[in-house]
Amino acid sequence: MSEPYRVIVIEDDPDVAFYIKTVLTKQGCIVQTFHDPAFAQQAMRLYEPDVVITDIEMPGITGIQVIELVRAVRPGTPVVVMTAHVSVDYAVEALRANADEFLTKPIPSADLIAVVTRLADEFRRAKASMPDPEVVLAIGAHPDDVELGVGGILLGHRSAGDAVHILTLSRGGKGGQVSERQTEAFVSAEMLGARLHLEDLPDSEIAENEPTLSLIAKVVAEIRPTIVYVHSDHDMHQDHRAVHKAALLATRAVRSVSCYQSPSSTVDFRPNRFVAIDEFLDKKIQLVQAHKSQVAVSRAHTSDALLAAARYWSRFGDGEACEPLEIVRDSGDLSFGSADVALALKAHRQAQASQLSQ
Ligand SMILES: [Zn+2]
């Protein structure tokens, strides 16, 4: 193997963890063991493993929940679930959660090595054949603007393994308590798996030149986005228009820039791309409603309103729910479906399985 496979083991039994680490280290793998599943997500970010091995049952958490935590950080990462005894219930549950493989304890070392090597190899090959992940920057004037406009699209990017950043330029003092809105913004970004850059410009007085321009330019220089979403110019809210103008200047070197709809968009908002968000609509509604202080005062935050808008725009696009975009600039393919490592892996495994069964 060219570069050693990186493996994370989540197992509360130190003897089992030690055994797995010993066997795989002898094969040249780099193995990190964690007795406390609470570190699963941090470990994913830190070690970027090729395979995760988890126990099915640990105090306070199940292996199924571990799969979800792992995939939220890096979609497509292979997960091996270990069980102490063969149980049909566990197997069905783990399969539903898309575990890649089961191993029944005590695990013969040859099986362990074979499974880990195969999954790591498949994962690396699938990644190598994929385009580089996008770096997405969604810019909004106030907390919740981005979720309302492109919440579904951002969830799509996350599920394709793209990095998502949110830049929010004010803390929304006019629409509620700053401390409350700030907390809501972080909760929502966490749910999305996005990094939040939260600035503190005065709500309702955001300027279209400085300091707005420099704040956006600073984030652009730091993260080098390949795709940007921002407010439309066709919007009644002056903050939204100001952010639109500043962002267009600050992102002029970015390959793809488009504008999203807000509850304050005017009839001049004229989208020319409609992105299907069917599988992300429920989660989008949760993201929007994580801004609890706004749900109480805004009709735009109700499930009905979000659902109706997505249904309406779908008449121009595919599927039954769409988010509309005005394209400012697009010198590349914006579709996130093509970069889905998880899907590619699934297809690869299905092909293998059908070969085996012949
Ligand atoms: Zn706003």
Q: Where are the domains of the chain?
A: 6-129, 135-339
The rounded Å distance from CA 240 to ligand 1 centre is 6
Quote the tokens at residue 196.
Answer: 């939040």
Note the pLDDT of residue 131: 72
Note the pLDDT of residue 104: 86
- Fold agreement between 6-129 and 135-339: yes
pLDDT digits (tens, 9 = 90+) for 109-130: 999 999 999 999 999 998 887 7
The rounded Å distance from CA 170 to ligand 1 centre is 9
The rounded Å distance from CA 15 to ligand 1 centre is 54
Give, in order, the Cα–Cα distances in Å from 2 to each of 21, 31, 100, 121, 296.
Answer: 20, 16, 23, 11, 56
Ranges assigned E (strand) in 177-321: 195-201, 227-231, 256-260, 273-276
The rounded Å distance from CA 252 to ligand 1 centre is 23
Residue 178's pLDDT band (cuts 50, 70, 90): confident
Helices 238-250/212-223 angle, 10° precision: 50
Q: Which of the listed CATH numbers 3.30.365.10, 1.10.3210.10, 3.40.190.10, 3.40.50.2300 matches domain 6-129? A: 3.40.50.2300
Poorest-pLDDT segment among 61-65, 108-112, 201-205, 309-313? 61-65
The rounded Å distance from CA 148 to ligand 1 centre is 9
Residue 161's pLDDT band (cuts 50, 70, 90): confident
Quote the tokens at residue 56.
Answer: 């099915």
The rounded Å distance from CA 141 to ligand 1 centre is 5
pLDDT digits (tens, 9 = 90+) for 329-339: 987 544 444 33
Poorest-pLDDT segment among 25-34, 121-130, 316-325? 121-130
pLDDT greater than 70 at residue 19: yes
Closest CA to 162 of 284, 286, 74, 52: 74
CA 311 to chain centre: 23
CA distance 184 to 274: 28
The rounded Å distance from CA 173 to ligand 1 centre is 11
pLDDT greater than 50 at residue 206: yes
Quote the tokens at residue 69.
Answer: 């935590």
CA distance 138 to 145: 9
The DSSP 8-state label assigned to residue 1 in this structure reads -
What mean pLDDT is predicted for residues 18-25? Answer: 97
Pairing relation of β-strands 163-170 and 135-140? parallel
- How confident is the prediction for the chain on average, in pLDDT? 88
Pairing relation of β-strands 6-10 and 30-34? parallel
Element (H, E) at 146: helix 145-159
Note the pLDDT of residue 349: 52
CA distance 213 to 245: 9
The rounded Å distance from CA 192 to ligand 1 centre is 19
Fold annotation for 135-339: Rossmann fold (3.40.50)
Q: Are 264 and 282 in contact (CB under 8 A)?
A: no
pLDDT greater than 70 at residue 201: yes
pLDDT greater than 50 at residue 1: no
